[in-house]
């Protein structure tokens, strides 16, 4: 990593995700954190998510038996935490876009750790500029299709609305959304973007070969297994549902991903952080081995 790259964009103090290196030379995936929760609408704390994921990652095995892949066989870089401005979300989204562009310019597939979901549109914009036919796949409890929330257009409640504005293909699949307004669900049904969990594999199979960006809002998981999130929603999903998605995505061209909305201080047991770190392991292996 050049001195200017690390100094201008990322802070590299603190923990590092297990098995990673700081120097992106020879790597296939570039992981970075965005410690921002300026628009959280219920319980804050997602700014601590990236650090928590890194800190607990050493408690996991590097080997994934489901994929039969090992992080020890993958060269990937943990570039650090994005140096972001405090306050309004718009400058943060722009900083995320520039950082993602820099990661792509290094020839790496980006994996972003949040932070809250408002940051995703910046990364999607950068990836979509390189892949105009990009398909966005969303795991989330919430539709996130509001045009604005409490006067803010870049609230995390508007994350997918903002992503659609920078997604040339307009291909967005929203997997098993279970919370939203009447208007959001009317749109989900009318557009066909809402995918039932039972139809997950069937819906994704025709997209093999197309570039995919996966955004994982961790509140998609049931609060019974992941209580450490700011807007928990009962009726969610378990690890086996995520594993089914990862098995299918191993046949796809996954070009980028993010994992957002972990609020580790809301789960003193630390289990939420461990689950999030395991999600990250699956995504690193999926990004690095297509």
**Would you list which residues are annotated within the binding site for Mn(2+)?**
117, 140, 142, 144, 217, 219
Neighbours of 52 (CB within 10 A): 25
CA angle, 172 then 175 then 181, to 5°: 85
Letter string b/e over residues 208-228, b meaning 16 or more CB atoms within 10 A of that residue's CB: eebbbbbbbbbbbbbbeebbb
Instruction: Extract the annotated binding site.
Output: 117, 140, 142, 144, 217, 219
Say if CB 180 and CB 188 are below 8 A apart.
Answer: yes
β-sheet bridge partners, residue 30? 77, 110
Q: Helix and strand tally (H, E) in the chain? A: 9, 11
R_g (Cα) of the chain, nearest Å: 17
Say if CB 207 and CB 228 are below 8 A apart.
Answer: no
Q: How far apart are CA 214 and CA 165, in angstroms?
A: 17
């Amino acid at each position: 990593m050049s001195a200017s790259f690390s100094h201008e964009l990322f802070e590299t103090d603190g923990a590092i995700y297990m098995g990673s290196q700081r120097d992106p030379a020879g790597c296939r995936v570039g992981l970075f954190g965005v410690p921002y929760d300026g628009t959280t609408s219920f319980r804050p704390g997602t700014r601590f998510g990236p650090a928590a994921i890194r800190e607990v990652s050493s408690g996991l095995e590097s080997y994934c038996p489901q994929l039969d892949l090992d992080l020890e066989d993958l060269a990937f870089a943990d570039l650090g935490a994005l140096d972001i401005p405090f306050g309004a979300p718009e400058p943060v989204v722009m900083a995320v876009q520039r950082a993602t562009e820099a990661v792509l310019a290094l020839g790496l597939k980006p994996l972003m750790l949040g932070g809250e979901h408002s940051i995703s549109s910046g990364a999607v914009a950068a990836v979509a500029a390189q892949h105009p036919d990009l398909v966005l796949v969303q795991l989330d409890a919430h539709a996130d299709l509001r045009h604005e929330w409490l006067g803010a257009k870049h609230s995390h409640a508007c994350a997918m609305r903002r992503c659609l504005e920078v997604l040339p293909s307009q291909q967005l699949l929203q997997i098993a959304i279970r919370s939203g307004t009447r208007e959001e669900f009317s749109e989900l049904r009318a557009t066909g973007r809402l995918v039932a969990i039972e139809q997950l594999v069937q819906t994704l199979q025709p997209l093999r070969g197309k570039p995919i960006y996966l955004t994982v809002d961790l509140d998609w998981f049931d609060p019974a297994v992941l209580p450490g999130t700011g807007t928990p929603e009962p009726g969610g999903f378990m690890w086996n549902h995520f594993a089914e998605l990862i098995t299918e995505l191993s046949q796809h061209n996954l070009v980028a991903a993010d994992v957002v909305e972990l609020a580790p201080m809301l789960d003193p047991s630390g289990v939420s952080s461990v689950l999030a770190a395991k999600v990250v392991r699956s995504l690193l292996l999926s990004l690095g081995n297509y």
